[in-house]
Amino acid sequence: MHEVVSFALIRSFHPNERHNASHKTVVLADALSPHVRCGRTLRIVARHAQRSLADIIQLIIDRNVRWVGRLPKLKGIEAIVLKLDEVKALARGPAVDGLPAVPASRVVQITAPVLREIARRGIIKTIQVVDPVNRCPRILFPLAELERFGAEYISLYNLSVGRSTIAVRKELAAQGIKPAEGLSGLDATFYKRSDLNL
């Protein structure tokens, strides 16, 4: 049998030792064939779940993973195998109607730094959730807020597709249409759709 005792160490132990190992938390499953198809190695699982090795091992230590196996011919963390679907579900956590900054920025077609600054100004509301693996807070952008912002504002860049942004801005200024208040000073210029009759 083996037991995880740290982020990077698996130690062999005799079953009779278990009462002396109360500070250790996870006993791995029985040995598996190297050709087992129900499990994937720790590194593969971490890559596909888009998590660090430390995050995945923490799931094991916290007893959140229901199935853990080991490959008898390997040592250390290379011996650990997990069910990829189970770990991916745990890494995602409960369904939340929101996106992190980078994918959220693609929804509204602006850059992530600009989106974060807009949120900091309170123009787009965000929600804070606890990461299901490392327990750190995460800021998410609700889809409804992204849709509201996209329906109310448009960037000069997106407005000028196929044309010069300078030329479009001059045309709008000549019509008395100014950039949206509250969104000045960003690395992008925005207009209210209502001012443009869009």
pLDDT digits over 30-53, tens only?
444 444 456 788 889 988 887 888
Q: Are residues 125 and 189 both part of a single domain?
A: yes
Q: Are residues 108 and 75 in the same domain?
A: no
Same-domain check for residues 105 and 182: yes
Q: How far apart are CA 157 and CA 95, in angstroms?
A: 33
Q: Which of 92, 113, 130 is the endpoint of a domain?
A: 92
Task: State how many domains the chain has.
Answer: 2
pTM (global) more than 0.85: no
Distance of CA 59 to the CA centre of its chain: 16
Q: Is the pLDDT of residue 137 over 90?
A: no
102 Cβ contact partners less than 8 Å away, ≥ 6 residues apart: 112
More confidently predicted of 12 and 54: 54
Question: What pLDDT band is residue 67 in, cutting at 50, 70 and 90?
Answer: confident
Residue 16: give the domain boundaries.
Answer: 2-92
